[in-house]
Structures are given as C-alpha cells and as structure tokens.
C-alpha cells in the first residue's frame, strides 16, 4: 500500500493542487488502497436536501431519471458532488478494508459506519442503483467509497434502525451548533423548523433558552407546521414563505414585541431566504446559515444593504461531539423520534 495525503489530495485528478471538495474530478479506482484510507462497501447514499431537491426538480420527479442524474454525476466527477448546488450528502456502508496507518484500532472489517464528511469530497463508485427513495432523499446502491485519514465517521448505534440513524447523522452538525450558539433567555427563530435539521435544532434551542426564552419555527407547508406542533416542543409556529423577507420581519416583530431574534437558524433547502433570516435578527444578533442553498454573497451584501449588524456563520457540518448530540435527541425525545421514523426513515 502507498501512503496518501491525509486530506485526500492523492485522489484528485483535476485540477491538481486542490483539495478533494473543490476538485472537478476524483480518482474512484479502488484497486489500489492507500495506507491511510478506509474502503467502504456502500449501501445507502443520503443526498443532502438542497442537492436532492434540485435533482428532483431537474428530473421532474421521475425516480428513474433521478437515478440517471446521480449515476452521471458520479461517473463524471468520481464523487456525488452536485454541479448545481455544490453540495453532496453522506453515506452508510460496511468496512471492506482498512489501511495499515489508520489510527482507529477499534475499527474492524465488517463494521457498519456512517461517514460524517460530505459526499462532495468522498471518492465514490456506483456499480448499480438498487432503489431511489425520493421522499427521504436516500438512494440504495451497490458500490464502493473511500474515507481519508482526516475523514470522520460514526459507528451506527445498536438501539435504532439504520435508516433513522442515517437521517439524523446527515444533519448532526445543526443541533450541535445550536447548542453552542443559544443561551438562556434567548429568542430563537428557526427558518425551516419543520424539516429534518430544523426539528433537531428546535429541540436543542428549547433546551438552551429555558423558561425565559422563546423559540419560533417557520415552515412553508402544512406538513412542516404539523410536525412542529406534534414534536412536543414549546415553540411558536408560523406558516409562510421565508423568501418574503418583509413578511418574516413583520411576523417576528409581532411575536417578539419588536425585540427580534437573538439567534436565527436557517435550515431550508431552497435559495433566496438570506434576507428573511437577516431581517428576523436584531442588531448584534447571530444568523447561522446551515442551509447549503445559501448564497453567501447575497447574505453579506444584503446585510450591508439594510444596515443590519449581525454575525453570520457558515453551516459547518462538523463540531466536536455532533454525532452523539444528534443521536441522543432520538433517545431523549420519543415524540420527535416517532416523527423522524415516520417521515425520514
């Protein structure tokens, strides 16, 4: 076995000199495994929400066409890196081989893991698509992938179904970051509160704000509103289009007596919600853009244009302990777990 770069640059075909995520094409020939790589028999791809929404739209909802688009992307790029949204997702599979220099000595061939790094930087080969589950953004495949030395992963827990764990781990960064950002007494607005990442983030927000704080969830759909109401969480709900920034601002003004949000969490899978997030937030407040549909140009220039002094954070999908935080919510919150099992697993 040859020794590769811990960040995976040895798998970059073009352009040379860049890291795997921004690369146009990766080497997905796994006949040679490097010393610091883990080879995975892939079972399920969990495509991120923004990417899958775009693919569904391109395919006009046709399941076969969705599969063809994913196959074409992986064949062209050597990874599931959506050329429109720039995002990927994650996968689950069984360990097939372990490089000699992989440091985790508890990892064994046959272990089932979920990767916690984006498919947009994960070398992947798809031999066959077995099923497309377009309602939960998941694709069952036969194929292989490799994880680099710098890649993070989680062994799948024994106390919940595989697909449930995958759905939760896909958005694990959101509730963990929420736990770091929200303080007792805060007013928190969750745009996309009825979705997969939104529900987990609202749970953590409610836990952190305590009885003196307030959590407001916004969803564009009746289903999202219903999920928030059935979650068992002490939240206020708003139904409407977060792309209408002035509507968002006026509604949050009403619900907060003009104080606006200390923290706004953007969890949607569609573009053009940047200004709604910014106008919902008070000066010196925080806007956390977890959504991969965010235009950071629009956010930065938009905040400048309305004179709103807010701290804007990029939705890093990783923070220390994020997998444990997200999985623990499923153990602590039976009503949320029931919603997740019914909706996403």
pLDDT score, position 73: 98
pLDDT score, position 22: 96
pLDDT score, position 163: 84
Prediction pTM value: 0.83
pLDDT: which is higher, 106 or 263: 263
pLDDT score, position 328: 96
Which CATH number does 173-343 carry? 3.40.50.720
* Separation of alpha carbons 324 and 320, rounded Å: 9
pLDDT, tens digit (0-9, with 9 covering 90-100), for 43-52 = 999 999 889 9
Strand order in the sheet with 281-289: 236-239, 214-219, 187-191, 261-266, 281-289, 311-314
* Helix, strand or coil, per DSSP, at residue 87: coil
CA dihedral 63, 64, 66, 70 (to 10 degrees): 140
Mean pLDDT, residues 20-42 taken together: 96
Enumerate the CATH 3.40.50.720 domain ranges in the chain, comma separated: 173-343
Q: Please say if the pLDDT value at position 345 is more than 80.
A: no
- Which segment of 65-74, 154-163, 239-248 scores lowest on mean pLDDT? 154-163
319 CB neighbour count, 10 Å cutoff: 16
Q: Please say if the pLDDT value at position 319 is more than 90.
A: no
The DSSP-derived string for 196-244 is HHHHHHHHHHHHHHGGG-EEEEEESSHHHHHHHHHTT---EEEES-TT-
* Separation of alpha carbons 333 and 56, rounded Å: 31
At 124, the pLDDT band (50, 70, 90 cuts) reads very high
pLDDT, tens digit (0-9, with 9 covering 90-100), for 264-285 = 999 998 899 999 999 999 999 9
By the 8 A CB rule, do 265 and 288 touch? yes
Q: At what angle do helices 222-230 and 196-209 cross, to 10 degrees?
A: 40
* Separation of alpha carbons 210 and 214, rounded Å: 8
E-assigned strand segments in the chain = 12-14, 25-26, 38-47, 89-98, 112-115, 124-133, 138-147, 153-155, 187-191, 214-219, 236-239, 261-266, 281-289, 311-314
At 1, the pLDDT band (50, 70, 90 cuts) reads low
Spatial CA neighbour of 195 closest among 31, 48, 1: 48
Q: Please say if the pLDDT value at position 316 is more than 90.
A: no
**Angle at CA 238, nearest 5°, toward 334 and 330?**
15
pLDDT score, position 24: 97
């Amino acid at each position: 076995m040859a020794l590769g770069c811990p960040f995976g640059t040895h798998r970059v075909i073009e352009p040379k000199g860049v890291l795997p995520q921004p690369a146009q094409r990766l080497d997905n020939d796994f006949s040679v495994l490097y010393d610091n790589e883990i080879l995975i028999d892939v079972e399920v791809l969990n495509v991120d929400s923004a990417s899958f929404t775009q693919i569904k739209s391109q395919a006009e909802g046709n399941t076969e066409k969705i599969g063809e688009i994913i196959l074409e992307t992986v064949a062209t790029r050597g990874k599931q890196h959506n050329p429109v949204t720039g995002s990927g997702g994650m996968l689950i599979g069984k360990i097939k081989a372990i490089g000699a220099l992989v440091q985790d000595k508890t990892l064994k061939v046959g272990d089932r893991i979920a990767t916690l790094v984006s498919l947009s930087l994960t070398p992947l080969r798809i031999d066959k698509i077995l099923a497309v589950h377009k309602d939960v953004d998941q694709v069952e495949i036969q194929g292989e992938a490799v994880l680099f030395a710098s890649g993070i992963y989680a062994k799948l827990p024994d106390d919940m179904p595989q697909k449930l764990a995958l759905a939760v781990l896909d958005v694990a960064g959101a509730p963990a970051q929420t736990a770091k950002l929200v303080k007792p007494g805060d007013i928190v607005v969750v745009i996309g509160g009825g979705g997969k990442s939104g529900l987990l983030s609202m749970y953590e927000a409610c836990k952190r704000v305590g009885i003196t704080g307030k959590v407001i969830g916004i969803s564009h759909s009746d289903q999202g509103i219903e999920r928030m109401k059935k979650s068992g969480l002490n939240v206020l709900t708003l139904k409407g289009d977060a792309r209408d920034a002035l509507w968002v601002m006026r509604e949050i003004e009403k619900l907060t007596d003009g104080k606006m949000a200390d923290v706004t969490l953007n969890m949607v899978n569609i573009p053009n919600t940047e200004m709604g997030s910014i106008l919902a937030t008070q000066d010196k407040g925080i806007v956390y853009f977890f959504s991969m549909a965010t235009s950071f140009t629009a956010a930065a220039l938009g905040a400048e244009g309305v004179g709103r002094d807010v701290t804007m954070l990029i939705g890093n999908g990783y923070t220390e302990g994020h997998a444990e935080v997200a999985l623990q919510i499923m153990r602590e919150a039976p009503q949320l777990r029931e919603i997740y099992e019914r909706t996403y697993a």
